[in-house]
Amino acid sequence: MVIDEFDGISYNQIFEAAETYLGSKVCSSQRLRVSRSAKERNFNINVERNQEVVDVFRGVKFRWLLLCTKTDSRSMYNPHDLNSTIRSEVRSFELSFHKKHLDMVLNSYFPYILKESVSLRQEKKTLKLFTVDFEKMFGKMTDAWSSISLDHPATFDTIAMDSKLKSKILEDLERFVRRRDYYKKVGKAWKRGYLLYGPPGTGKSSLIAAIANYLNFDIYDLELTELRCNSELRRLLLSTANRSILVVEDVDCTIQLQDRLAGSQVMNPRSFQFEKQVTLSGLLNFMDGLWSSCGDERIIIFTTNHKNKLDPALLRPGRMDMHIHMSYCTPYGFKILAANYLGIINHYLFRDIENLIQTTEVTPAEVAEHLLKSDEPERALRDLIKFLEVKKEEARVQKEKEELEEEEEEEEEEEEEEAKPKKKLELQQGGSVGENDEVMMMTKRMPQLELAFTLGDG
């Protein structure tokens, strides 16, 4: 049986799975191929060309041989892969077994290899952070994204977040990843949407990294403002892998998404020509339209500082299933930060700090910054207390100023309301006075007119 690397212009899933699976069985091979890129932490071990690997499944021996055939690179042209013409060989696996085991191979052995390959990839997987590579946008679909290793230390144990909210998020994630069959049963795409909203510095990016580390999912960071049209968005989303997180940060700053009925063309200041842009309807169609079924076990996360600026259509369940409010620092969050940065779980200054935090709006990022200023716990805590006291006083002064301005505005409004009847009366009286003046003027002029007539008669 021959298993080619490509099936037409697409990668052969069986070949990829077999390559990963046989990498764990290479002890029977005399020659191995070992590699590791600068972006990975683990070694990749694969079968070398023309080497045979023997595998035993349910007591039956299977012989795998990796074959590589030289070919004219021009004959390998793939319209969806710009690098296809520079390849000079075609790879395939030759699988040998007794013909009576054919049904076992198709119904049991291959499904087993596919399942094992997924587990093996997850075990040695190096988390990646992907961003769009616009220079390769129209090459092979998977080349549209460039990646670096994601080595972010954030975990659910280290993020400064309310314990109840943290537990709620973990339960939701666990329920999502184990319900593949359930999503299929109810006819829904296997995906989940989260909206993280709150002031800057409250830990939205750290929570995303913690989710990625917890689930072992890659992150695709999508900048919508750089895309020219909905078709580019669709192409990028289709090229994301399963078991991944798609992140759109500060979605409220993407102007075209604030109105689904807005035109999808904007003026390009460089060329003075109209260009298309991504619209809200284009994004929504991928989130829960027909295109949403193209991929499994995916999480979509939007972040915003201003939830009220978002179109309600974006917020409904099925698109953003869970809304997570990232609030200011709490006493519980402070204790986590103190344990992370200072290595302490209790201190006599904690009570003063907790009282200040309860009455002051301060972000976890601000607290962490002041805890970093000294390696001595007491010095760092006292510095934090001074900062919180100053911040509390500034907030008090600002509040008094706003209240005073509000009172002045109310007084002005009251004065205007009181002045309205007076103005109306003056206008009415002003009209009467004007009429009386005119009568008096006419009366004064009457003797003069009579005198003029008398002289005329004379």
Question: HSE of 325 in the Cβ direction (CA atoms, 13 Å)?
Answer: 7
> Using CA atoms, how far apart are residues 173 and 400, in angstroms rounded to an integer?
44
Which pLDDT score is estimated for 283? 78
Residue holding tokens 């030289």?
70
Q: Are 355 and 389 in contact (CB under 8 A)?
A: no
Does residue 39 contact residue 30 with C-beta atoms inside 8 Å?
A: no
pLDDT at position 429 is 66
Helix or strand (DSSP H, E) at 427: helix 377-457
The number of C-alpha atoms within 13 Å of 27 and in the hemisphere containing its C-beta is 4
pLDDT in tens, 332-382: 999 999 999 999 999 999 999 999 999 999 999 999 999 999 999 999 999
CATH tag, 128-325: 3.40.50.300
For residue 11 the two structure tokens come to 């990668």
What does 11-33 look like in DSSP terms, one character per residue? Answer: E-HHHHHHHHHHTTSGGG-S-EE
Q: What is the pLDDT of residue 369?
A: 95
How do the domains of the chain map onto residue ranges?
2-123, 128-325
CB atoms within 10 A of CB 148: 11
What is the rounded distance in angstroms from the CA atom of residue 152 to the CA atom of residue 287? 27
- pLDDT tens profile 155-205: 999 999 999 999 999 999 999 999 988 988 988 888 999 999 999 999 999
Instruction: Determine the Cα–Cα distance for residues 365 and 22; give it in Å rounded to an integer.
Output: 47
d(CA 443, CA 455): 20
- pLDDT lower than 50: segments of the chain: 79-86, 258-274, 433, 439, 449, 451-455, 458
DSSP category for residue 442: H
Residue 256 CB coordination number (10 Å): 21
Q: What is the pLDDT of residue 169?
A: 97
In angstroms, rounded to a whole number, what is the distance separating the alpha carbons of residues 306 and 456?
88
Q: How far apart are CA 1 and CA 15, in angstroms?
A: 12
CB atoms within 10 A of CB 140: 16
